[in-house]
């Protein structure tokens, strides 16, 4: 696998950084080389922020932030109209958005005609499974549907390793359920 670059858009406190790390760490567990890092600005809950994941079969020496991502994941639906989420996204790029809209509607909204667009109502899924509006884990599940960087099982192992001690079995399982549900529900077009 050549280097795959993922850019995450969220707002401070929504778990974009955590999602970027979980994806990287799950890939690391499978023997890949990884980088996961947020773009630090003034750290404020609610402010738009970015995080990045790089995954490759070979060691990576590049240490600048990602400018031409293969995949963009928008965790917060309101960012679609607030910033240019498709910036640097190439002809085969994938745009994945947390929204109840269809891929066709999102394409129109952001004027993106290339690649693939995926949509999933990750906030609703998070509310149903976890009872919290934390869409980051469902977005990870949706991401694996468009590009199987790791399997659902491999990601689940990593999520368990990170969460079990911290938030307990019940909430961890709710997160795993959210991941699976988003994987099943994501619409691609």
136 contributes a contact to another protein by CB under 8 A:
no
Token pair for 40: 């630090």
Q: How far is the CB of 67 from another protein (least distance, A)?
A: 6
Contact criterion met (CB below 8 Å) for 123 and 133: yes
Token pair for 89: 């996204």
Q: How far is the CB of 39 from another protein (least distance, A)?
A: 9
One of 44, 47, 57, 65 touching another protein (CB under 8 A) = 65
35 contributes a contact to another protein by CB under 8 A:
yes
**CA 176 – CA 171 distance, rounded (Å):** 9
Q: Which range of residues in 27-35, 87-95, 115-123, 176-184 is near another protein by CB under 8 A?
A: 27-35
81 contributes a contact to another protein by CB under 8 A:
no
**CA 72 – CA 96 distance, rounded (Å):** 6
Q: How far is the CB of 149 from another protein (least distance, A)?
A: 15
| DSSP annotation string for 90-128 | -TT-EEEEESSS-HHHHHHHHT--SSEEEEE-HHHHHHH
Task: Please name every residue paired with 97 in a beta bridge, in sequence order, or none if there are none.
Answer: 74, 119
21 contributes a contact to another protein by CB under 8 A:
yes
Q: How far is the CB of 41 from another protein (least distance, A)?
A: 9
62 contributes a contact to another protein by CB under 8 A:
yes
> Which helix H or strand E contains 76, and what residues bound it?
none
Interacting residues toward another protein by CB under 8 A: 21, 24-25, 28, 31, 33-38, 40, 59-65, 67
């Amino acid at each position: 696998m050549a280097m795959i670059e993922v850019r995450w858009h969220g707002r401070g406190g929504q778990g974009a950084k955590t999602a970027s790390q979980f994806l990287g760490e799950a890939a690391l567990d499978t023997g890949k080389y990884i980088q996961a890092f947020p773009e630090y600005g003034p750290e404020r809950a609610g402010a738009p922020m970015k995080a990045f994941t790089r995954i490759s079969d070979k060691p990576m020496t590049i240490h600048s932030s990602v400018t031409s991502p293969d995949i963009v994941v928008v965790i917060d639906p309101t960012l679609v109209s607030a910033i240019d989420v498709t910036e640097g996204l190439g002809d085969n790029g994938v745009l994945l958005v947390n929204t109840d809209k269809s891929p066709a509607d999102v394409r129109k909204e952001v004027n993106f005609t290339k690649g693939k667009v995926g949509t999933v109502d990750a906030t609703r899924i998070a509310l149903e499974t976890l009872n919290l509006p934390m869409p980051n884990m469902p977005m990870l599940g949706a991401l694996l549907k468009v590009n199987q960087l790791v399997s659902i099982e491999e990601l689940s192992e990593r999520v368990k390793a990170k969460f079990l001690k911290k938030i307990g079995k019940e909430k961890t399982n709710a997160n795993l359920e959210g991941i699976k549900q988003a994987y099943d529900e994501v619409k691609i077009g």
